Amino acid sequence: MPLVSVIMPSYNHERFISEAIESVLNQTFTDLELIIIDDASKDSSKNIIKNYEEKDDRIYAIFHKKNKGIAKTMNEGLEEACGKFIAPSASDDVWVKDKLRKQLEVLNGNEDLAVWSEGLIIDAQSAPTGETFTQKHGASKKKKSGNIFEELLKGNYICGQSIILKRENLKEIRYDERLKYLNDYKFMVNLAKKYKFYFIPEPLVMYRIHGRNAILSDREGWTKDQIKIGEYFLQTYGDEISDSIKSEIFLNISIGFSYIGERAKARQYVYYAIKSNLFKPLKLISLLHIRLTSTNDDGTIRNFLRCSYQKYKSIRQRLTWK
């Protein structure tokens, strides 16, 4: 039984998958299995994977006849894995050769940590862009180690292709197959609720950006996922999170409904945002103004926010006078 199970979902990455596979097989730590699940690729990925499987008995390949999506594919990999530790990879990304060794050194001190690292952004030609993963996700100053549960509720900034964790600690934690784009985000938040994270600032993975990002190619689908996740966070963890975090989640949901044209629901969630954080409405206005600049809001939400603010300002004054 290998110590580490590497799970690599594959879909139409014939241009990059060889480099991804070799970066795993060439690790300085060798006690691993590489589970590659091809999700019905239409290019030559299947043949490339088979060639590697014939050369290295650490590879176990699965080939879908029909596309099942990333969440179901990752869950299948988790069920197939038998290593003590799980390390997700990607068929278009690259690991540096000491990734697993350096992370396992950390886990040797505490097996219950979720260990992740910085990532170096590369382009389609594998050339560094000069930017890191956390820089690109606006997380340079965010908390990255320890209990990061509430910080993650504001937005995902974990480089999922860099993480390694104990398989036994996953148990009921799985990727949500109802989510098309943000299943990894929900996975990380659920994980952070139970376990502490440990961040290695050294880039141990190279995160490739090529083609169109999902948020650009299917903004509506991505936004609907965002709404579902926000509602899940509130329903599941609402009683355990601070009012300020709760209000930010309400704002994110409001902006999502605004984008897809459901104005009544958007106004309702702005109301919830102000109500949940009554004594910091000015901060909410500032946050909402910034976030609405990238949406198609027609001013309805802004006007509602102003009216709501005036209402709660008077309530706040009455409470202060008592």
pLDDT in tens, 145-165: 999 999 999 999 999 999 999
Q: What is the mean pLDDT of residues 129-142?
A: 94
Provide the pLDDT confidence category of residue 9 given band limits of 50, 70 and 90.
Answer: very high
Q: What is the mean pLDDT of residues 84-111?
A: 98
Provide the pLDDT confidence category of residue 275 given band limits of 50, 70 and 90.
Answer: confident
Q: What is the mean pLDDT of residues 74-99?
A: 97
How confident is the model at residue 16, as a pLDDT? 97
Q: What is the mean pLDDT of residues 235-252?
A: 92
Q: What is the mean pLDDT of residues 167-173?
A: 95
Residue 214 has pLDDT above 60, yes or no: no
Instruction: Quote the tokens at residue 92.
Output: 């278009």
What share of the chain has pLDDT > 90, as a percent?
A: 74
Q: What are phi and psi of 8, to 5 degrees?
A: -125, 100
Residue 228 has pLDDT above 80, yes or no: yes
Q: What CA–CA distance (Å, rounded) separates 8 from 89?
A: 5
Q: What is the mean pLDDT of residues 223-229?
A: 96
**Mean pLDDT across the chain, nearest whole number?**
89
Helix (H, G, I), strand (E, B) or coil at 11: coil
Q: By mean pLDDT, which of 21-25, 101-105, 270-274 is the weakest?
A: 270-274
Q: Give the strand pairing for 4-10 and 32-38.
A: parallel
Residue 294 has pLDDT above 50, yes or no: no
Q: What is the mean pLDDT of residues 51-77?
A: 97
- Entry pTM: 0.87
Closest among 265, 264, 254 to 295, alpha carbons compared: 254
In sequence order, what are the beta bridge partners of 34?
6, 59
Instruction: Quote the tokens at residue 186.
Output: 């929900």
**Fold for the domain defined by 4-211:** Spore Coat Polysaccharide Biosynthesis Protein SpsA; Chain A (3.90.550)
Buried b (16+ CB within 10 A) or exposed e, 192-227: bbebebbbbeebbbbbbeeeeeeeeeebebbbbbbb
How confident is the model at residue 110, as a pLDDT? 98
Provide the pLDDT confidence category of residue 287 given band limits of 50, 70 and 90.
Answer: low
